[in-house]
Amino acid sequence: MTDAKQAHETGLRRTFAIISHPDAGKTTITEKMLLFGNAIQMAGSVKSKRDDRHATSDWMKMEQERGISVTTSVMQFPYGGRIVNLLDTPGHADFSEDTYRTLTAVDSALMVIDGAKGVEDRTIKLMEVCRLRTTPILTFINKMDRDIRDPIEVMDEVEEVLKIKCAPMTWPIGMGRHFKGVYHLYDDVIHLYKQGQGNRIPEDNRIEGLDNPEVDEVLGEDAAEELRMEVELVRGASYTFDHDAYLRGELSPVYFGTAMGNFGVREMMDGFVEYAPSPQPRDTNLRTVEAEDGSFSGFVFKIQANMDPNHRDRVAFLRVCSGKYERHMKMRHVRIGKDVKIADALTFMASDRAHVEEAWPGDIIGLHNHGTIQIGDTFTQGENMRFTGIPHFAPELFKRVRLTDPMKLKSLQKGLQQLSEEGATQVFMPLDNNDLILGVVGVLQFDVVAHRLKQEYKVDCIYEGINVQTARWIECDDPKMLEDFKRKASANLAIDGGGHLTYIAPTRVNLQMTQERWPNVKFHHTREH
């Protein structure tokens, strides 16, 4: 069943996340987007990143501020007649699986690149995750007010390292102290840069047409001529924008600007709302769900502890995939097979956390969770289907957990089980001994787990280093071979929190050699929830 209202509301939504390396300008550009979305009055009013850029030891303080971070993890604002949902991906020390999973809940991503630094590690990793679902990527090359690298060189690097074609949409005029603005290659308009407009919506000083004599007046004849030649060169040497190739994740439209100077951002956002996909179909174990389907469905991609650690109350972030959420509606919690009435879901209008009356595909709602909701859970209007493709990623950091009080083993096991269901960490129990090994993607997760074990499960634990570098989930169609493998490799095998057989490799070389020795055993880098 599809009705016009459903199709209309769905068509308005643009749900995305920013992928970038720390310090590329994600926080700054987020702030400018909120400014354009009239969600804040003046830049600087968003919680400063300084509070966010906590060292590991600041986590306790962060816990108290959780209420705030819950609201900033999803921001909804109107722009250009559309409704934009921006999902925050923790980008600093607290980089974790949350970041990865958030990317499963978006329809596209904005890649922010520091023009001086080019493609950096974190971006490469996040891009790999986007690839798993062929997420369309729009690129913003930032910090044009500085002396960056040659823009063509930066685009070449994006193409080479990230294996995606670049189609410049705007082209920078100069850089650093000589940054004059951008030329829109498709609108044939020059937007002139003026310093000092960073914390408000800047005026749009434009010159229509590259051949307009005004260009010579403003830039000077030589510079104008140089620009014309450069534009011709760029048009000839780079890809032309192809909307379908963008939607297939093969080509990225590229915009230039300075987030700090709030310049080039408007052109990028205009392009974003025009070209970025509206809510996309999602696969379940039974069928593909179209966003326009009338029956409500969604999945949980993130769980976050709420303000008050004394109440086991957490917020489960659910991405609406089809239908409409209405207050007081009944939903089927598919995994536990129960119908539950949801009276008070949260919505995330920019920095204001309010109770939501209705939500449409692409929107994120927050469900109060008293321990019954896990990452990956599906909610429907009665259909017993399950969304697929919400992965666990192989952790990269490992530690052995040791109790200070051995009598607390049961509490520790229970705590770790629950924290791993929630996605705060992954637990591995070796086949050959009684160790408990924690695996995480971001180092801050270790502190979070220790803190929560103490607060919520009254367990004190300490971590010890362990010789594990990476993990792979094991699958083998041949039961006899699997048994053989289990016997011979038992020293490196463990069961994870979900009961899955895992190979924990002391080194990458060891992993590689084992894979070569067992060509018919599959070593998976991700596992589905």
Q: What residue ranges bind ligand G4P (CB under 6 A)?
A: 20, 22-28, 49, 91, 142-143, 145-146, 258-261
Is the distance from CB of 223 to CB of 207 less than 8 angstroms?
A: no
Q: Closest separation between CB of residue 193 and ligand G4P, Å?
A: 11
Does residue 91 have a known ligand-binding role?
yes
Q: Closest separation between CB of residue 28 and ligand G4P, Å?
A: 3
Beta carbon nearer to ligand G4P, 91 or 249: 91
Does residue 67 have a known ligand-binding role?
no
Question: Where do we find the tokens 């009276």?
Answer: 343
Q: How would you list the strands of the sheet with 522-524, edge to edge?
A: 461-465, 397-403, 437-440, 426-430, 493-496, 501-505, 470-475, 522-524
Q: How many residues does the chain have?
A: 529
Q: Closest separation between CB of residue 305 and ligand G4P, Å?
A: 23
* 352 bridge partner residues: 349
Does residue 500 have a known ligand-binding role?
no
Does residue 430 have a known ligand-binding role?
no
SS3 content of the chain, % helix, strand, coil (to 5): 35, 30, 35
Beta carbon nearer to ligand G4P, 10 or 27: 27
Does residue 58 have a known ligand-binding role?
no
User: Mutual orientation of helices 121-132 and 151-162 as an angle, nearest 10°?
Assistant: 50
- Per the structure block, which two tokens stand in for 319? 């991405």
Q: What is the three-class DSSP state of 149?
A: coil
Does residue 202 have a known ligand-binding role?
no
49 CB-contact burial (10 Å; exposed 0-12 / middle 13-18 / buried 19+) = middle
CA 147/CA 411 separation, integer angstroms: 56
Does residue 145 have a known ligand-binding role?
yes
Is the distance from CB of 140 to CB of 257 less than 8 angstroms?
A: yes
Beta carbon nearer to ligand G4P, 65 or 383: 65
Q: Closest separation between CB of residue 196 and ligand G4P, Å?
A: 13
Q: Closest separation between CB of residue 31 and ligand G4P, Å?
A: 8
Beta carbon nearer to ligand G4P, 258 or 470: 258
Least Cα distance to 88 among 112, 113, 108, 69 occurs for 69
Q: Closest separation between CB of residue 495 and ligand G4P, Å?
A: 38
CA 101/CA 374 separation, integer angstroms: 13
Q: What is the three-class DSSP state of 385?
A: coil
Does residue 479 have a known ligand-binding role?
no
Beta carbon nearer to ligand G4P, 43 or 493: 43
Beta carbon nearer to ligand G4P, 91 or 323: 91
Least Cα distance to 153 among 117, 192, 182 occurs for 117
Beta carbon nearer to ligand G4P, 267 or 292: 267
Q: Closest separation between CB of residue 162 and ligand G4P, Å?
A: 17
Annotation: binding site for GTP: 20-27, 88-92, 142-145
Annotated binding site: 20-27, 88-92, 142-145
